[in-house]
Amino acid sequence: MPLAGAAALYVVALSRARWLALHARYPFPWWGWVGLALVAIGWTLAWNDFVAPPWRRQTFTPLWLGYVLTMNALAFRRSGEALLTHRPGVLLALFPASALFWWLFEHLNRFVGNWYYTGVAASSDWDYFLQGTLPFSSVLPAVASTWAWLRTFPRFDAMGESVPLKFRGASKQAPLAVVAGLLGLAAIGLWPQQLFSLLWLAPLAVLLGLQQLLLGETLLAPLARGDWRPLLQPAAAALVCGFFWELWNWGSLAQWHYAIPYVQRFHLFEMPLLGYAGYLPFGVACAVVIDLVARIAGRGCGGFLQRNQTGPMGVARGARYRDSHEEPPPDHRSGEPV
C-alpha cells in the first residue's frame, strides 16, 4: 500500500506539472569526459575476472567518483550550472558527511541483517573501516548531483509544485516525530523481522524532527502549501542512484547481497523489486543531510533548497524561462556568493 500511494502521488504530480522545453546550450565540460572515462574503466575492471582481485575490490570508489563528475557535467551541459562549478564547497563537504551518514545505516543493519557483503578481504577492523569509508563517502554526492541534474528537466522541476494535498502543522509535530523515530529505532532491535522497514523510516523521522526543533524549519515545509517537490524529487534521485548501485554491484567481486523478509522474489540484479521502495525514504533522508551540510558549508547563505527557493543552485530556476523569451523574476539575493 505505501508503494502504491507513492506511485499515485508521482502520477498526480507529473500530470499537474507544466511542460516547458529546454535545449542544451552549453558544451560538455572536459571534466565530464574524465568522469565518463572513470565510469568506463571502473566498470570494466569491476566486472572482469582477468583483473587481479585486489584491484577489482577497489573499483567502487573511482566508479562512483566518475558518476558524480558525469552527473555534474550533464547538469552543466543543460543549464550552465552544476554543484561542482557553483557550489564546490558544498559538494566536497558532502563526501565526509556521506561516510558518517552511511556508517549509521551499517550500524542499524547489524540489528536487522537486511544486507551482507561477500568478496571483501580485510586484514583488520581498521582495514575494513577504511575500505568501507571510501565507497560510503560517495553516496550523498551521488544523490545530490543526480538531483541537480534531474532538476534541469523542466517537467521534473515542476513535478509536485502544485499537489492538491497539503500537510500542515509540521512545527507542532516535530517532538512527536523525534520520539516516534527513536521508538522505531529501538523497536528494530526487538522485532527486526517484522519492523525492518523502519530502518529507512525511523532515521528520517528523527532527522526531520530535529531539523524543525533546531533550525525552526524543515526541508518539507513547502508541503504546507501543496509543494511536494522537496519530498518527491530527492526520492526520485535516490531511486536513479539505486538503479546504478544495484547494476554495478551485480557483477562486482566485492558485493552486497540481500536477505529481506517477505519480499525475496522478482529480483532486479541483487535487489528484490519491492526492495527498491526503500530508496524513496532514503532519498528524503539524504536530502535532509544534504540541506544541513549546505547550510554549514555555505556559511549561512541558506540550505540546499532554500538557497534559491526551489532547488539546488537554482539550476532549473533559470531554465524555466530560457526558451520562453521571458525574463525571470528578480532574485534579490543574486549578489550573494555561490
The answer to whether the beta carbons of residues 286 and 234 sit under 8 Å apart is: yes
Could you tell me which of 241, 239, 176, 237 has the C-alpha nearest to residue 212?
A: 176
Q: φ and ψ at 147, to 5 degrees? A: -60, -45
Q: State what percent of residues in the chain have pLDDT above 70.
A: 78
Judge whether residue 237 has pLDDT over 80.
yes
Q: φ and ψ at 255, to 5 degrees? A: -125, 160
Distance, C-alpha 187 to centroid of its chain: 26
The residue-averaged pLDDT of 185-196 equals 90
pLDDT in tens, 272-294: 888 898 899 999 999 999 998 98
Residue recorded with cell 547563505: 301
pLDDT in tens, 21-69: 455 578 999 999 999 999 999 999 989 888 788 888 888 899 999 999 9
pTM here is 0.81
Q: φ and ψ at 287, to 5 degrees? A: -65, -40
Q: What is the pLDDT of residue 119?
A: 82
The answer to whether the beta carbons of residues 338 and 86 sit under 8 Å apart is: yes
Write the DSSP assignment of 107-156 as a string of letters: HHHHHH--EEEES---SSHHHHHHHHHHHHTTHHHHHHHHHHHHTTSHHH
Q: What is the pLDDT of residue 243?
A: 95
- At 19, list the grid cell: 511542460
Q: What is the pLDDT of residue 259?
A: 87
